Structure 1
């Protein structure tokens, strides 16, 4: 039998001719979109990638015959060489312009095991996305561990190869095993001037991306954690269950001296235009948000919030988030503890908010702002009715006690507990959040604190749940994936029932300090990434450092970087720095002078106008010639709409550098079109030039202050 089909590339706006991207036979599958070329062989009851290169470079493959995938099945190592019969090859279309193919395999060594391997190609990108599905048709559970979705043998020379990791911002030489801070890595061969970006769309602490781990081989693996890592992945695939793995992707490049450019360019374009994260999909993106946490902490009330709302509205704030302290537990009198009290029942403290939250929310809306709340999504204190009535919904620690995942209770006297998403807590907390939306008008949910593990505990044993009777997992290792998977499922179901709800999943919920990844970006609009309360100019520097470190590997607009106070005398520098991410501000706006409030309102109106013109929040790249923000240097970013090349924003900062002037170059403009560079927020014209001139000759920026910044609009005429 010979199976042959073709996937035609649709005619796109740039006039590319239709062509075949995918061809298959009973012996091989060929993926080639004109940029990337991959051949998967099916001979001798094996599946293996045998060729991987950029199109036109098919004599210099980046790989040798490879395992294709690998995992432990009931403790036995399984890979593409283990024995598989091809049952079907089916094309399908992915959202966001993807053309895909699925290879259905039946095990020749285990009668009831089926596997499906999925590959996707995208227009004008040298990227192949991949995931696997494991189908169990037996009567017994299958235990799957250490799943590597990509398991390739490269021809790269490890002596001349380094790995860019930690959002592709740090360099490693030799053996490398990545962790939760590696949504994308780059393996770069210095001598060959080529390499590949390795994208991992698994969530949280379960990510694993590795290079050169098996003896003297140059293997590349992208998948989930093994027993050698801190938080091992395990999945029990039940009878008749079809387990779908997280996705991965590989982006190829050549003729480059430094591998990071593939992240700034191809990966950035793929994530923005084809992965299409929630914040990019959002039509009405927030550009100026306020949160009460600093300085008010939990001491909030209706009168306080309304007075703050009056001042915030004068500053042009668009959303007002009430942080911890609005809630009380059943039979509780009021919430006066600084934090960590009255969690679980999520009732409105009517001593603080008479008549509930709706009058306060309505007041916020009358001021043309959206109301939001902080909620600890999987926490309860001992006085909560939900904990007293349903202790079985809470995690169990290794000693068999109800557990606290968020902080270490060293003396055993704590009264704080973590709920498990592998129980009916899921429906309970979903009902609470939906109720706040429908009954009170909630529009922004900051969902916080540990769900699987905590950034504050250096003890991996205090993670997940050791419960033996929770319905969706059998042991601690299996609890990790279930808890994370159900968390993302909750976000999706909240969006279905409350389509206008903005979900902010904090780094504490993600599980590690300042962690953001593709899984969170695809299911939640934002991630509260930090708590920086430093005065300017160092607070502004920390914001720019965090934004630089995480983007463009992950979407900049999903990075909610707190807690810069807007009542800082030099806050304008902080705001300019925040414009590179999702600007969220704290502090007490009532302390601003009338002139300062007007200044903030001018910036707010300008940001809103720029968003309407360019959708700049969907984009961010490194500014050519500018690097990591640090004391004694210049740094910068660009938020140019590279999809339309219509212009956007540029931010340039002097952080104590000795020179007061720099030449600034931009990218992603139309070479033959005219553009105007305008200073923000006044709109003052700096110069008029062609796109070619701005990209090749640039424009001069002078900042007299030793610590200062300028924002510019690049406007296509």
Structure 2
């Protein structure tokens, strides 16, 4: 056949797909059009996966598929290109399957002839999405089994390209807090930056695979960048395709940029995620919410909640959320007869009276072993490798239900009924489904043979997809309810990513209380680099504690106002304090919604406290999860500014930091504009400055440890 080049392009990025004379599709060029730099080296695989026919295995690469045709369709915000490929006959491709366990010994051609069929026994569609308003091209695969027998897919990579060499090439990873020459990561990172020292450009590489299923390999094998499913740690990918069944991978994407890579993360990357991926809209997020969890744990009742709602309304809170403990038992979501003898109707009425949104908590997969659903349907339990029911940590009075059984239909109806009965507008969905983040190696997927997954490995991604189906159904049925899919349900300690934000509005990423505010801000800083900050929920400070009045109150506002506390314990002075500042924030948010922005550039590093790492690497106890004492020795902060440089800059001096004065540039300002800077907490104007002066920097002072500067920036022309 004749060779062919197809250019996939917007005004920032061009990716050329070439079909050679043998019908092989490959990426032949990736150009940053802003500076006309070629980023690609030849030699990438484009995609690859392992296909099993029973115990016969074959590694299938793009070169073993024959180009058939392609379509390019114009869309409202860009275009979509689909390249249609079919597997070549075995003899034409020059490859043979081999038996698992047989080493390098290949099976003779006359023993296995399925690979010699006419073209078409396996088809692949390579799908690209090109955006005209973002420097982004997304890619995914669709694999169709046209063969006579079932096949199993493993080791699936939907992106495999080589990038330009250079001794000065680096990868920025671990939520952009670390740098290395090569990186391999499973479960945690969903986006990394490739930079070349001395070069004024780079590339962001992102995966949309979910939770514990994602894996990124950047330069593990020389110059290769590979996006694939987890193939080595706990939740290993596998998918079974019957005849004529289709599997569609999650997507990945490339973002080109010029200039500072930090600004590319804050700018073009964040804008794309907020505009095209995240379903949460910032104007739907309550300004201020109270949550009952760490203040009361399970010990909530009608009197406690009603008294707290009255004070929350007095303070100006927008929402009140009952966490774990309002119901009879996990899996039996009727109000607890002793704690709430009148049901939740009085709670709902109190919220309605004060125009507050009601929030509740529910477990999606975990049920009490003596609950009606567990007794009626023991076949729905997730089974471990020994055939026993799976459970979280040491909670043996509960069990995990498999979301790839018919349980998913039952729990959807339970949650939908609760939302509708009580007018729930915030729903926190919790507890482990695919892996227990507190107990690595335990309850990994489901070993049952009677559910909707052929194998244990195939249940891993399958459970995520069932989880997302539940979230999508709940949102469709209840468009006014914000859905919080917690990190426990998501299966990665303090984890969030680009798949999560496409199916749930928010993610409870950690439980933190007042003594741990600096590590809490590190979590907000690092996770806000990869997803919008307003999608992050958290256990934050108790408003009843002294450190909360300024330091804790504003720490939470790096995302949004979400707090703990028994409000009955607030003094008259504390109530007046919170009334004043809650009213100020709400008024300012109506003028400029600073919740929408989170920028750090290369000015504000993440707080220098220890990371909250998954217990795959650090086996700390359950009650240490997310609680790390501060060791911070420097200031930290975030600019919550719009593209004109208007908004708030929040700067914190930790209790362990001795620095009283610092010179800080504000590179987010328009150089030719004049700004007025207001010290919000001191309630005074600091001065007027030209944007170029602010970009160079100004000297700021915080004489007291554990304090915060809140700077309001406003164009004064």
State the TM-score, normalizing by the size of structure 1: 0.87
d(CA) in 1 for partners of 2:49 and 2:683?
Answer: 57
Match of 2:617 in 1: none
SS of the counterpart of 1:346? strand
Within 5 Å, which residues of 2 pair with 1:330-369? 342-369=329-356
SS of the counterpart of 1:283? helix
Q: Which stretch shifts more, 318-327 or 122-131? A: 122-131
Shift of 1:432: 1.1
Match of 2:251 in 1: 247
Shift of 1:180: 1.4
Match of 1:715 in 2: 714
Runs of 4+ in 1 over 6 A off after TM superposition: none
Q: What does the per-residue CA deviation read over 1:224-267, in whole Å, with 9 as the maximum and x for residues that have no partner?
A: 112x33321111233333322111111234565xx544323332
How many positions carry a matched residue from both structures? 657
2:18 corresponds to 1:36: no
Within 5 Å, which residues of 2 pair with 1:159-308? 160-174=168-182, 176-190=183-197, 194-214=201-221, 217-226=222-231, 228-253=232-257, 259-275=261-277, 277-279=278-280, 281-308=281-308
SS of the counterpart of 2:373? helix
CA 61–458 in structure 1, closer or farther in 2 if over 3 Å, else same: closer
C-alpha contact (below 8 Å) 1:564/1:574 kept by paired residues: yes
Within 5 Å, which residues of 2 pair with 1:48-67? 48-55=26-33, 58=36, 60-67=38-45
User: Match for 2:605 among 617, 622, 627?
Assistant: 627
Q: Which stretch shifts more, 674-683 or 556-565? A: 674-683
Shift of 1:117: 1.5
Match of 2:125 in 1: 116
2:444 corresponds to 1:463: yes
Shift of 1:698: 4.2
Shift of 1:115: 1.8
d(CA) in 2 for partners of 1:508 and 1:171?
Answer: 28
2:24 corresponds to 1:46: yes
SS of the counterpart of 2:500? helix
Shift of 1:651: 0.4
CA 562–206 in structure 1, closer or farther in 2 if over 3 Å, else same: same
Shift of 1:284: 2.4
C-alpha contact (below 8 Å) 1:98/1:274 kept by paired residues: no
Q: What does the per-residue CA deviation read over 1:418-448, in whole Å, with 9 as the maximum and x for residues that have no partner?
A: 0111111111111111111111111111101
d(CA) in 2 for partners of 1:293 and 1:252?
Answer: 43
Shift of 1:362: 1.6
State the TM-score, normalizing by the size of structure 2: 0.87
CA 146–540 in structure 1, closer or farther in 2 if over 3 Å, else same: same
Within 5 Å, which residues of 2 pair with 1:178-577? 178-190=185-197, 194-214=201-221, 217-226=222-231, 228-253=232-257, 259-275=261-277, 277-279=278-280, 281-328=281-328, 342-404=329-391, 406-408=392-394, 414-459=396-441, 462-470=443-451, 472-535=452-515, 539-571=516-548, 572-577=550-555
CA 205–525 in structure 1, closer or farther in 2 if over 3 Å, else same: same
Shift of 1:692: 4.1
Match of 1:338 in 2: none
d(CA) in 2 for partners of 1:553 and 1:239?
Answer: 38
d(CA) in 2 for partners of 1:346 and 1:34?
Answer: 53
C-alpha contact (below 8 Å) 2:142/2:249 kept by paired residues: yes
CA 648–293 in structure 1, closer or farther in 2 if over 3 Å, else same: same
RMSD (Å) for aligned C-alpha atoms:
2.3
d(CA) in 2 for partners of 1:602 and 1:100?
Answer: 51
C-alpha contact (below 8 Å) 2:287/2:318 kept by paired residues: yes
User: Match for 2:165 among 141, 153, 156?
Assistant: 156
Match of 2:110 in 1: none
C-alpha contact (below 8 Å) 1:393/1:419 kept by paired residues: yes
Match of 2:97 in 1: none
C-alpha contact (below 8 Å) 1:179/1:205 kept by paired residues: yes
Shift of 1:657: 3.8
Q: What does the per-residue CA deviation read over 1:340-398, in whole Å, with 9 as the maximum and x for residues that have no partner?
A: xx211212112211231122122122123211111111111111010010111111111
C-alpha contact (below 8 Å) 1:382/1:415 kept by paired residues: yes
C-alpha contact (below 8 Å) 2:70/2:81 kept by paired residues: no
d(CA) in 1 for partners of 2:514 and 2:669?
Answer: 36
Unmatched 5+ residue regions in structure 1? Answer: 3-25, 329-341
Unmatched 5+ residue regions in structure 2? Answer: 90-118, 609-631
d(CA) in 2 for partners of 1:201 and 1:611?
Answer: 31
Shift of 1:498: 0.4
Q: Which stretch shifts more, 161-170 or 670-679? A: 670-679
C-alpha contact (below 8 Å) 2:175/2:189 kept by paired residues: yes
Within 5 Å, which residues of 2 pair with 1:111-150? 111-123=120-132, 125-150=134-159
Q: What does the per-residue CA deviation read over 1:319-338, in whole Å, with 9 as the maximum and x for residues that have no partner?
A: 1110111111xxxxxxxxxx
CA 408–190 in structure 1, closer or farther in 2 if over 3 Å, else same: farther
C-alpha contact (below 8 Å) 2:235/2:445 kept by paired residues: no
Match of 2:595 in 1: 617
CA 697–48 in structure 1, closer or farther in 2 if over 3 Å, else same: same
d(CA) in 1 for partners of 2:705 and 2:528?
Answer: 26
d(CA) in 2 for partners of 1:317 and 1:139?
Answer: 61
C-alpha contact (below 8 Å) 1:194/1:255 kept by paired residues: yes
d(CA) in 2 for partners of 1:587 and 1:248?
Answer: 41
d(CA) in 1 for partners of 2:594 and 2:78?
Answer: 24
